[in-house]
Amino acid sequence: MNTHDEKVAFVSGANRGIGFETAKGLGEAGITVVIGVRDIAKGNAAVEQLQGLGIKAEAIHYDAAQPGSENAVFDHLANRYGKLDILVNNAGILKEQLVGGNNSSSVEQEVLKETFQTNLFSVIALTQKLLPLLRKAKAGRIVNLSSILASLTLHSMPESPIDPAKGFAYNASKTALNAYTIHLAHELKDTPIKVNSAHPGWVKTELGGANAPMEVADSGKTSVRLATLDAAGPSGGFFHESETLPW
């Protein structure tokens, strides 16, 4: 059992990529990290890497595609730590071609449902389940991993900088996630809990592809910054590193 002064973070989808770098950044700040993974063997391998860097870390099973998976996460965190300081909703999926086409008239219902289940509904379910533990922390922080492709402002502007990326299910799921960030932050505005959306950047991950300009090593910076905001920090915002993004 951790002492109450030690901070504990739960990061979903964190055995590789952006989630792993986020867990690493939080761990390097002295925070105990619990990573949620679908494949516990891969999760344990990631934990070994983190522990090799002197980070307190453990892996537990969490599958965002599986309704009810959040219950075991709550039970583990409640029994082992009694609270949660940081929740990083990092797990996400992409089930369609993102760049070079617009599938709005043809996107399959199954793709929409699968994408929204992982990228939105599971985030809400996990957050709602873990909120009682976040309320027990001195200053809870919730970070929702969004994308610049969620921005309705940028998509609709003339000569849009994100014009080629029109995978509807993915983009719309992240737009809806941003709406959850705004609404939850408003509900919690009189508490010490802050809620923000993060655009990590276009990153060389399995999802981002080899042509992405950002190296994986830099991909956790925005999430770590938002997860460790002080009392004067923002809530209900959409950020890439220190830059505010338009909704």
Whole-number pLDDT of residue 73:
98
Local confidence band at 88 (pLDDT 50, 70, 90 cut-offs): very high
Mean pLDDT (whole number) for 152-162: 92
Residue 116 lies in a domain: yes
Residue 3 lies in a domain: no
Q: Which domain holds residue 145?
A: 8-244
Percent of the chain beyond pLDDT 70?
Answer: 92
Residue 2 lies in a domain: no
**pLDDT tens digit string along 175-234?**
999 999 999 999 999 999 999 999 997 754 555 555 555 566 667 899 999 999 999 999
Q: What is the pLDDT of residue 1?
A: 47
Reported for 198-204, long-range contacts at CB under 8 A and 24+ positions apart, including other chains, are 198/143, 198/144, 198/145, 198/146, 198/222, 198/223, 198/226, 198/239, 198/240, 199/146, 199/147, 199/148, 199/150, 199/238, 199/239, 199/240, 199/245, 200/18, 200/145, 200/240, 201/240, 202/148, 203/17, 203/18
- Domain membership flag for residue 115: yes
pLDDT value, residue 210: 55
Residue 100 lies in a domain: yes
- Residue 5 pLDDT exceeds 80: no
**Average pLDDT of the chain?**
92
Amino acid 212: pLDDT? 53
In a domain, 60, yes or no: yes
* Other beta carbons less than 10 A from residue 209's beta carbon: 13
At CA 7, angle to CA 18 and CA 222, rounded to 5? 30
Q: What is the pLDDT of residue 162?
A: 86
- Looking at residues 119-136, what average pLDDT do you find? 98
Does residue 219 lie within any of the structural domains?
yes
Percent residues over pLDDT 90 in the chain:
83
- Domain CATH number, residue 166: 3.40.50.720
Q: How many domains does the chain have?
A: 1
Lowest mean pLDDT among 4-18, 21-35, 168-182, 201-215: 201-215
Q: What's the pLDDT tens digit per position in 57-76? A: 999 999 999 999 999 999 99
Question: Residue 193 domain-assigned?
Answer: yes
